[in-house]
Every structure is written in structure tokens, then in C-alpha cells.
Amino acid sequence: MDRELVNPGTLYVVATPIGNLGDLSPRAARVLAGVDLVAAEDTRRARTLLAHVGARPRVVSLHAHSSPARVGAVIAAARAGEAVALVTDAGTPGISDPGGDLVERARAQGVPVVAVPGPSAVAAALSISGLSADRYQFLGFLPRKGPARRRLVERVAQSEWSVVIFEAANRLAATLEDLAAACGGDRPAVVARELTKVHEEARPGTLTDLAGYYREHPPRGEATIVIAGRPEPKITPDPGSARERAERLLALGLTRRDAAERLAGELGLSRNRAYALVANL
């Protein structure tokens, strides 16, 4: 394999597969083969991946519980001229992952940071959910209990955009039940599991239906949940304002039928109510 031309003294944030090794990009493979040092959340998984691409850099552990001294040592290696790659267990480092601290400190000390983009469970789940992804919120793993959990569950309920969260298999049903209680049991959602793996599953349904299903069929592996945004609130227009708008539409030269159609669309009225309002003018 050709080695990527990596820059010395640079931190590369490298996205790795979330399940299928075939999703590792050619560029990511070349970067991993070209760097001097890999900082990995799980060194065993990292070494398996490095062996897959024939890369042999030094590997050090760097995870949520690593000491500030370990983070400092990785940055010191980059400042001494080594090319360093940051990888997580799966997916993109820094996304619901402790790697953001290393990136922040590296930037503060003048170390260039380069993204090597690739797999992301968030993007993968959204792409197959069938729910709106023009705008969305990502909340990572919810807190397990207490006010912090209730606050984020309520944020899901109030979001006008789709929301993506991660959850462990043993807490999936309980989380879906909490979401159903806050959002309403009929809120559409999709549970994506084992993404890119042999037993990949993307199960759509209401929050109530999904909670019941996973109570009866305990899942394995981590899940990505996509919850639809809250429905647009139904606004009841002020009768006076609706009548004034109807008069203006007629004054513009619209027929009564066209004015009623426009009024229904603008104010969310039923067609019958809009026709009745226009006809009484």
C-alpha cells in the first residue's frame, strides 16, 4: 500500500468503520500507514484495524479516563514533529467521543489538525430513516437518570427538527418508553442497529410500538434512534383577522373560489370553513 504523504507535527482525526471494515476510506488507510503514532480509544480494536491495512505505527491508549499527562504526551509528540492519528472505537472521533479534548488542546498549542472524514452512525441512521434530515439535533447518549436525563428527553419532545440519540441495548426499551411519555406515543421514530454489519436493522414505528417491540425482543449492540420533530402546532386564526384577509384577497380581484383556496392554505382552515367565510362577505 502506498503511504499517504502526511505532514510532520500534524494531528489527523481519522474516521474508522462503524462495523464493516470495507468502509475504511483509501485515504484513511494511507494516513494510518503513514503516521508515526496512533492515539486510540481502544488499542486492541485499533491494532486489528491497523493490521488490516498493513500499518505499523506506535499505538497509545487515549480514552475518556486518560490523564491530562497522557493527552499532553500525545501533543508533545506532535510538537516534536511526529505525525499523529486519533481514532475512536468506531466512527468519527469527537462525535459523542472524548477525542474533542485532544483536538482542543492541540489547537491551543499550535498543532495543525486535519480531518480524514468517513463513517458516522449519525449520518448513516439519518440516511435510511425516512425522516427529515434537512435540519436535525444530535444529543449523543442520554444521561441514565435524574434531572439531566429529564431535561434532554424534554428537549427531544420540543424539537421541531429530527433528533438523533445513541443508546445501549440494555437501556433501549426504557429510553423509548421515556421518549413516548414525553413526546407522545404516536411520535414516529426509527431504531437503527448493527449498522453496516450482517444483521443491520432499521425498524420504523411509533415510539410506543418500538418500546413494546424491544421489551419483547431484547436487542444486542448499540442503537441509534432517530425521532421525528414535533408536529406543527395547529393555529386557530382570529375570526376578525381571517375575515380581513378574505376581504383583501377579494379586493385583489380573486374569485370567491380562489380566495377561499388561498385563505385555507394561508391560515390552515378547512376548505368548507374558508368557503363559508368568503361567501358571507
Within a domain: residue 255? yes
On whether the CB atoms of residues 38 and 46 are closer than 8 A, the answer is: yes
Residue 256's pLDDT is 87
Is the per-residue pLDDT at 138 higher than 90?
A: yes
Instruction: Identify whether residues 59 and 149 lie together within a single domain.
Output: no
Within a domain: residue 4? no
Within a domain: residue 234? no
Instruction: Identify whether residues 126 and 55 lie together within a single domain.
Output: no
Q: Give mean pLDDT, residues 271-276.
A: 84
Within a domain: residue 5? no
Instruction: Give the DSSP H/E element, type plus range, for residue 258.
Output: helix 256-267
Residue 241's pLDDT is 80
Instruction: Identify whether residues 33 and 108 lie together within a single domain.
Output: yes
Share of the chain above pLDDT 90, in %: 75
CATH number of the CATH domain containing 80: 3.40.1010.10
Instruction: Identify whether residues 92 and 137 lie together within a single domain.
Output: no
Instruction: Identify whether residues 193 and 132 lie together within a single domain.
Output: yes
Residue 281's pLDDT is 81
Within a domain: residue 101? yes
Instruction: Identify whether residues 62 and 127 lie together within a single domain.
Output: no
Instruction: Give the DSSP H/E element, type plus range, for residue 174.
Output: helix 172-183
Q: Which range has the worst mean pLDDT, 75-79, 156-160, 235-239?
A: 235-239
Instruction: Identify whether residues 89 and 114 lie together within a single domain.
Output: yes
pLDDT in tens, 166-176: 999 999 999 99
Within a domain: residue 72? yes
Instruction: Identify whether residues 159 and 258 lie together within a single domain.
Output: no
Higher-scoring residue by pLDDT: 239, 230: 230
Q: Give mean pLDDT, residues 55-62.
A: 96
β-bridge pairing 223-227 and 162-167: antiparallel
Among 119, 139, 156, where does a domain finish? Answer: 119
Among 64, 95, 119, where does a domain finish? Answer: 119
Q: Put residue 35 in one of left, alpha, beta given phi > 0 → left and psi -120 to 50 → alpha.
A: beta
Within a domain: residue 233? no
Structural domain boundaries, residue 255: 239-279
3-state helix, strand, coil in the chain (%, to 5): 45, 20, 35
Among 119, 147, 165, where does a domain finish? Answer: 119
Instruction: Identify whether residues 46 and 99 lie together within a single domain.
Output: yes
Using 50, 70 and 90 to split pLDDT, how confident is the model at 237?
A: low
Within a domain: residue 1? no
Domain count, the chain: 3
CATH number of the CATH domain containing 173: 3.30.950.10
What Rg, from alpha-carbon coordinates, does the chain have? Answer: 26
